[in-house]
Structure 1
Amino acid sequence: MIIRENKIQVDDYFLKNVLEVEGEKEVFEDALFFDLEHYVYRKPICIGVFGCCYYDKKKNEINVTQYMIENKKESLDILDLAKKYFQNMYTKEKKKYIVTFSGNNDFTVINYLLEKNNVDYVIEDYYKHIDLQREYENVIGKNIGLKNLEKLFDIERESNVISGSNLAKTFCKVMKDSDYMNRMPQEKKDRILLYNEQDVVSLFQIYVDWNKVVNEELIQKEKEEAKKTVYKSKEEIHNQ
């Protein structure tokens, strides 16, 4: 198992820009930012990378934890590590929310695998889910992918985007060949971990800069709708 922990200093943010949830601005301080890389073939097969981070207000930094499997046996071990991580974050760090992007897919995978492997833990019994894709759709009225949302927030990635299908192929090989990870170049392992890390860090950045970008999008949407209303009114007058 590859276990990777990293601390990332946070740039200044303003509370007025932070996404408000349940009437509260400080929810992000009690939240985990969560993303999985996984392999699904008809049904969930394994978690390839578990990635999660949280904000440490005292140190003004993000603490990132990642687990990546190196063989089939560890596809079970990663579930135990995920359970212990969530338990520790809930009891010791007092986290109560999980922030994702289109997280229903990740929850479907991890919940299925936890139940299948008799790991007694239900994440939703302890954490409330905040899905940034759904939050954006509720406000703007259209669907959007994470990479396009990152562009709106001027988030630049250090690594190239890796497609979900390529990641799935990688972890398919890991599950079938116990020596595959030993032959994989370290550069590729680092690239996968960095990609996942940037996914969870992006969630935090989007969350704390939410109003700065989404409010502008909302204003633009309202202007476009106002133009359509004016055009429709003129057309109705013309047809009378």
Structure 2
Amino acid sequence: MIKRNAVTSLKVNDVDRFKLEDSDKIYSKALFFDLEHYVYKKPICIGVFGCAYFDEKSGELNTTQYMIENKSDSERILKIAEEYFLKAKTELKKDYIVTFSGNNDFTVINYLFKKSNINMEVNKEFISIDLQKEYEKVTKRCVGLKNLEKIFEINRESEIISGSTLAKTFGKIVKDSEYSLRMPSDKKDKILLYNRQDVESLFNMIVTWNKYVKEVEDDEK
């Protein structure tokens, strides 16, 4: 299953956006990346690949998602992910990849790439920006994504889905070729919306970073 979405008419405040000393406009040079996956002792499959980029000309945040529907899709999704990253780097000129606690996602996708003889390590192709680590650098506090969303006043449309619930769902999909056919469409939609909002939150945090992170830093001082 492939789903694409565009959030339109986005404007970025130059004062609030996340910056690095050696780069400007990271929000327009980055991918915003999140996986839902199934791991049992070792990575088994990617359940949902979610990634977005900001198009400065159109002012749109373009999100693309791939969700597996059977075991054979677990191989196909890796090839799709490889093609997406290559296009992002060569055609879209994206240099950064923004995640939240992304080491786990990188470990999973790099392991599965290697297993499928795909010669790519995602966190070596792009400069990685982990917003959990960046927030901790400033505030000396380690927080989860949902708690950070509250700090950034990000209100979700989606229900919160636990990692164990997602893993069980993807486990059933790869073990039972007809399980996805029996899944209610609203369950698939909820999983995709949950992942999309994870990705969109990364962008929203990048473009409002100083508005919220500086406030926390000042309060602690």
Same fold (TM over 0.5): yes
Q: How big is each residue's C-alpha offset from its partner over 1:70-117, in whole Å with a ceiling of 9 and x where there is no partner?
A: 001110110000000000011110001000000000000000010012
Equivalent runs, 1:51-62 vs 2, <5 Å: 51-62=50-61
Equivalent runs, 1:123-134 vs 2, <5 Å: 123-134=122-133
Q: How big is each residue's C-alpha offset from its partner over 1:27-83, in whole Å with a ceiling of 9 and x where there is no partner?
A: 111100000000011111100000000001111110000000000111011000000
Aligned-pair distance for 1:9?
A: 1.6
Distance, in Å, in 1 between the alignment partners of 2:120 and 2:23 is: 28
Cα contact 2:106–2:123 (8 A) shared by 1: no
Match of 2:11 in 1: 12
Aligned-pair distance for 1:25?
A: 3.6
User: In structure 1, the residue corresponding to 2:119 is in which secondary structure?
Assistant: coil
Distance, in Å, in 2 between the alignment partners of 1:10 and 1:24 is: 24
Distance, in Å, in 2 between the alignment partners of 1:212 and 1:27 is: 16
1:120 partner letter: N
Match of 2:49 in 1: 50
1:110 aligns with 2:121: no
Match of 2:79 in 1: 80
Cα contact 1:19–1:25 (8 A) shared by 2: no
Match of 1:192 in 2: 191
User: In structure 1, the residue corresponding to 2:23 is in which secondary structure?
Assistant: coil
User: In structure 2, the residue corresponding to 1:17 is in which secondary structure?
Assistant: coil
2:207 partner letter: V
TM-score in terms of structure 1 length: 0.90
User: In structure 1, the residue corresponding to 2:212 is in which secondary structure?
Assistant: helix
Match of 1:228 in 2: none
Distance, in Å, in 1 between the alignment partners of 2:207 and 2:194 is: 20
Aligned-pair distance for 1:23?
A: 3.7
State the identity as a percent.
55
Unaligned regions of 5+ residues in structure 2, if any? none
Q: How big is each residue's C-alpha offset from its partner over 1:136-193, in whole Å with a ceiling of 9 and x where there is no partner?
A: 0111001000000000111011111111110000001001100000000000000100
1:126 partner letter: E
1:40 partner letter: V
Match of 1:238 in 2: none
Aligned-pair distance for 1:119?
A: 1.4
Equivalent runs, 1:154-233 vs 2, <5 Å: 154-222=153-221
2:26 partner letter: V
Distance, in Å, in 2 between the alignment partners of 1:102 and 1:10 is: 28
Match of 2:38 in 1: 39
Q: How big is each residue's C-alpha offset from its partner over 1:181-209, in whole Å with a ceiling of 9 and x where there is no partner?
A: 00000000001001100000000000100
Match of 1:235 in 2: none
Cα contact 2:135–2:142 (8 A) shared by 1: yes
Unaligned regions of 5+ residues in structure 1, if any? 223-240
User: In structure 2, the residue corresponding to 1:206 is in which secondary structure?
Assistant: helix
User: In structure 2, the residue corresponding to 1:16 is in which secondary structure?
Assistant: coil
- In structure 2, the CA distance between the partners of 1:10 and 1:39, relative to structure 1 (3 Å rule), is farther
Whose Rg is larger? Answer: 1
Match of 1:69 in 2: 68
Aligned-pair distance for 1:21?
A: 1.7
Match of 2:140 in 1: 141
User: In structure 2, the residue corresponding to 1:160 is in which secondary structure?
Assistant: coil
Distance, in Å, in 2 between the alignment partners of 1:45 and 1:126 is: 23
Distance, in Å, in 1 between the alignment partners of 2:21 and 2:87 is: 24
